[in-house]
Structure 1
Amino acid sequence: MAAAFARREYDFLNELGLQPHNLGCNGNGVWKGNGNTVTSVNPANNQPIATVVEASIEDYEDSIKACGEASKMWMQTPAPKRGEIVRQIGEALRSKLELLGRLVSLEMGKILPEGIGEVQEIIDMCDYAVGLSRQLNGSIIPSERPNHMMMEVWNPLGIVGVITAFNFPAAVLGWNACIALVCGNCVVWKGAPTTPLISVATTKLIAEVFERNGFPSAIFTCICGGAEIGQAIAEDTRIPLVSFTGSTKVGQIVQRTVHARFGKCLLELSGNNAIIVMDDADLALAVSSVLFAAVGTAGQRCTTCRRLLLHEKIHQQVIERLVDAYKQVKIGDPLNKDTLLGPLHTKTSKTNFEKGIQMIKSQGGHILTGGSVIEHEGNFVQPTIVEISGDAPIVKEELFAPVLYVLKFQTLEDAIELNNSVSQGLSSSIFTRSPEAIFKWIGPCGSDCGIVNVNIPTNGAEIGGAFGGEKATGGGREAGSDSWKQYMRRATCTINYGRELPLAQGINFGFQSN
């Protein structure tokens, strides 16, 4: 089925500049591919969509050289002008919003509203970055020496490597690339090997914007490939910063490799996120939030709720409501408007779900609803709720599927201890009406996560805040707030505009010059 575009439902891909056979390496406007040929598969039926020829190491080298040459021009382009280019990128993506969103759903497997929402997130990041391009402010610092001035200057790093995962094949690129570009950096992007069509389609739109404005498209370079391309990016001394999104296991390898050459690393790794429901919570609000947080994207978000911590007074009531809500979840083709739960991304994910359920049972878990794969040509599984002890080893791990562990607690202190008892530290949330509980939760003795929510789910973060987590989640921060500083280098500048040479700390070196 190499010519998969003959399938009627795939006709829209032609409008994105895709073909049955695609080249997955774009360097300076030249599309090529001399590496492995991979097939993009629809996870709803495991049928081929199209093929992509990935980059070889030689292709990678050619592209990085072109990117390095382009960086000389881009770094010297005024930041507001860079912002104008990013604004046009946002407009280009906006013109294809529905088509790109449909492609995300088709290739990744998330439902269509989520697919469109993910592309909208890049567009929102472009809008955010446009304003930021006029606010990359340094500081003026009082000097202790007369006739001296101190200030901080922020300059581009040069090239930023962005390695993204399959679950957010577009949005995470936006978090990084939009900010990196307005900061004056070129971008080298390696998307997930299983979502190459999204990488190619997005890059085609972005490349056209640069070329239309007289800039080399190598400023934004796409290199499709597997682990060997990711390793090349991690090892490349020409790339000062590598942003990696993926598992903690692979993130540790990337971090060691990048740090070994004194590069910088921005890591967004695994999550094992908890929602706490106190006895004074709005239970209707809590149940709706848990449903979205645990079932959305078929449990394949890094911010998915995996642990539900229920106060003993409302424990049974919440379980009954939640089980009823789970039974109403419509499972099916993610492109159908009534579908709430699409497939897992790959056959391997489906197999891992089955193994996880077996392990849950072996560790004393009691399945309240779900727990089975669905006999279908696609990678569908039932959304699952499990009652289990917080000491069970599997509760400490991240099972990347719609599996929710329910735990009972007596006091807020117990709940916070359970929340903090795992190695990951990405997102967390509490449902309560108590100001005392809220401020304890967000304070120094509360949640140890990077995202600490109140009366909202663990997922669905806004771009204006910095996104990222602590501990085994990697410690990185992307998107809003002051995350832009990671994409630049800081220089502290002291200027002497007088004729004397007073030294700091009152030191007198005792030398007089004629």
Structure 2
Amino acid sequence: MTVSAQQEQELLQRVPTGLLINGEWVEASSGKTLPVYDPATGKELLRIQDGNSDDALKALTAADEAQAEWALTAPRERAEILRRAFDIVMERAEDFALLMTLEMGKPLAEARGEVNYGAEFLRWFSEETVRHYGRYGNTPESKLTMIVRHKPVGPSLLVTPWNFPLAMATRKVGPAVASGSTMVLKPAQLTPLTSQYFAQAMLDAGLPAGVLNVVSGSSASAISGPLLKDRRLRKLSFTGSTPVGRRLMADAAENVLRTSMELGGNAPLIVFDDADLDKAVQGAMDAKLRNMGEACTAANRILVHEDVADAFQSKFAEAMRARKVGRGTEPDVNVGPIIDDKAREDVHGLVTEAVDAGAKVVTGGQKVEGEGYFYEPTVLSVLEDSPILKQEIFGPVAPVVKFKDEAHAIRLANASEYGLAAYIFTENHNRALRVADQIEFGLIGFNAGVISNAAAPFGGVKHSGLGREGGAEGIEEYTTVQYIGMPNPHTQN
């Protein structure tokens, strides 16, 4: 059903507009505000407080002062806070979904899917909190007894992107809470509202003051810069572009910070000649058009065996043409807008460059006229040297390139600085495992276009980053290992 303007306004009135510092929503030191826009209309949704360096340091002070007591909080208590937060998010699921659609543009049905996905990190880490085991045993020569335990890493800076406003926050906040670490969360300038609404849910779940602080602002460097230089900060978790990630890693190195970096991607989707083409097309649609292609896991290079390339491309283009483009609150819409005008121009520039280099437009290829920042779902037929294959597209554009054999497909897949996600479509399980062994990616989808799950480790290799989020591995990113050696009582007099 269509969402009314009144429903939108009532929701926006419930969103906190301040900075969350030490359990209170406060005004920014500068007295300035930051506008948040609807990418489907280009119109302003709301104005929030525009935090700066002074606010960031106040937030870090709150986190630092809360750290000692929070670290000693019983794991069961932390677990139950996370579980209550999960319940609250699910109770407010429609609010979260609509808020993401308004500030980010994704269709409402897809936003509901993100609520389920994002909330699951809270439930998953509530369960992991009380199962974070250490080790106890003797050294090999039995002179010492070893106790190995995991301690909270301490105050952490969490920097989230605009494309998954809820899930990227829960994926970082969940394990930090579970570990006993305090936080300063810096949401993306383009989509801060969901994060602020989520932070209020954490307070409502009973999270103590100072454990989670939120500083939104128009200048990311004004917030992160002084924090990365401050010795009280012990951890940086960043999700965003590789160029920004490199700069943040360099800054973090000065203070020898623990870092988790989930950076760019340029995922290949490989369709072998024995693939079920209908399954492959559906997988390509899922992997390409999730979030309008604005995802680091998006399939940016569709590699298809030459024997089935024409049939696949025809089915794929037909499926892309059938998608309905529009504001995500409208019925039956399944492709929303690009996040802003600059991002849409960047996408169109990549298409234009590809066409100039010899690519053929199979379908789409144009900006949608009218208000908002819409772009047609696009399929391009390209050669393997096309410049668009080197780029992270971040839009509903799918370049299709042919390959000759398995070795050729592997070579094309690995011809990227990125190594986050890849997708393999074949009915031969041995081939899938053989190819997975040889391609350099942290995530592999086998006959599946969407594989992210709170229970699975998420992260890449090469220039796609360091560390893992989610899964049993996720909590490790927010802990340090402490070893205690003591005389073995059985070898002492």
* TM-score of the aligned structures, taking structure 1 as reference length: 0.91
Per-residue deviation, 1:15: 6.4
Name which of 119, 123, 128 aligns with 2:115: 119
Match of 1:384, as an amino acid?
Answer: T
Distance 2:332 2:375 in 1: 17
Q: Is the 8 A contact 2:60 2:233 kept in 1?
A: no
Name which of 17, 31, 37 aligns with 2:33: 37
Per-residue deviation, 1:233: 3.3
Q: Is the 8 A contact 1:25 1:33 kept in 2?
A: no
Per-residue deviation, 1:163: 0.2
Counterpart in 1 of 2:74? 78
Counterpart in 2 of 1:278? 272
Structure 1 residues 342 and 30, CA, compared in 2 at 3 Å: closer, same or farther?
closer
Counterpart in 2 of 1:487? 478
Distance 2:129 2:354 in 1: 49
| 1:48 aligns to 2:44 (yes or no) | yes
Structure 1 residues 436 and 30, CA, compared in 2 at 3 Å: closer, same or farther?
closer
Compute the RMSD of aligned alpha carbons: 1.8
Per-residue deviation, 1:184: 0.5
Counterpart in 2 of 1:426? 420
Deviations 1:108-148 (A, max 9, x none): 01111221222222321111111111111012343133453
Name which of 5, 12, 35 aligns with 2:10: 12
Q: Secondary structure of 2:325's partner?
A: coil
* Percentage of pairs with the same residue: 26
Q: Is the 8 A contact 2:445 2:451 kept in 1?
A: no
Name which of 141, 144, 149 aligns with 1:145: 141
Counterpart in 1 of 2:372? 378
Q: Secondary structure of 1:244's partner?
A: strand
Counterpart in 1 of 2:291? 297
Name which of 210, 214, 221 aligns with 1:222: 214
Name which of 133, 150, 155 aligns with 1:154: 150
Deviations 1:445-467 (A, max 9, x none): x221000121011x441111100
Distance 1:411 1:318 in 2: 16
Structure 1 residues 33 and 290, CA, compared in 2 at 3 Å: closer, same or farther?
same
Larger radius of gyration: 1
**Equivalent residues in 2 for 1:382-397, closer than 5 Å:** 382-397=376-391
| 1:175 aligns to 2:171 (yes or no) | yes
Q: Secondary structure of 1:303's partner?
A: coil
| 1:26 aligns to 2:26 (yes or no) | no
Match of 2:6, as an amino acid?
Answer: R
Distance 2:279 2:430 in 1: 20
Q: Secondary structure of 1:165's partner?
A: coil
Name which of 437, 442, 449 aligns with 2:436: 442
Q: Secondary structure of 2:189's partner?
A: coil
Per-residue deviation, 1:219: 0.6
Q: Secondary structure of 1:230's partner?
A: helix
Per-residue deviation, 1:16: 3.1
Structure 1 residues 472 and 169, CA, compared in 2 at 3 Å: closer, same or farther?
same
Q: How many residues align?
A: 487
Bigger shift: residues 432-441 or 145-154: 145-154
Distance 1:358 1:435 in 2: 38
Q: Secondary structure of 1:135's partner?
A: coil
| 1:333 aligns to 2:324 (yes or no) | no
Distance 1:195 1:412 in 2: 41
Match of 2:28, as an amino acid?
Answer: G
Distance 1:221 1:426 in 2: 30
Distance 1:48 1:97 in 2: 23
Distance 1:171 1:324 in 2: 31
Counterpart in 2 of 1:64? 60
Gaps (5+ residues) in structure 2?
none
Match of 1:485, as an amino acid?
Answer: E
Per-residue deviation, 1:485: 1.1
Match of 1:359, as an amino acid?
Answer: E
Q: Secondary structure of 1:125's partner?
A: helix
Match of 2:456, as an amino acid?
Answer: G
Q: Is the 8 A contact 1:157 1:241 kept in 2?
A: yes
Counterpart in 2 of 1:165? 161
Bigger shift: residues 74-83 or 384-393: 384-393
| 1:108 aligns to 2:99 (yes or no) | no
Per-residue deviation, 1:315: 0.7
Gaps (5+ residues) in structure 1?
1-5, 503-514
Deviations 1:20-55 (A, max 9, x none): xx2234333242223442111111111111101211
Q: Is the 8 A contact 2:303 2:403 kept in 1?
A: yes
Structure 1 residues 440 and 500, CA, compared in 2 at 3 Å: closer, same or farther?
closer
Counterpart in 1 of 2:340? 346
Q: Is the 8 A contact 2:57 2:226 kept in 1?
A: no
Bigger shift: residues 459-468 or 29-38: 29-38
Q: Secondary structure of 1:466's partner?
A: coil
* TM-score of the aligned structures, taking structure 2 as reference length: 0.95
Bigger shift: residues 65-74 or 489-498: 489-498
Bigger shift: residues 339-348 or 116-125: 116-125
| 1:465 aligns to 2:456 (yes or no) | yes
Match of 1:454, as an amino acid?
Answer: F
Q: Secondary structure of 2:51's partner?
A: coil
Structure 1 residues 146 and 356, CA, compared in 2 at 3 Å: closer, same or farther?
closer
Name which of 245, 263, 288 aligns with 2:282: 288
Match of 1:47, as an amino acid?
Answer: K
Bigger shift: residues 488-497 or 299-308: 488-497
Q: Is the 8 A contact 2:106 2:292 kept in 1?
A: yes
Distance 2:395 2:12 in 1: 32
Match of 1:453, as an amino acid?
Answer: G
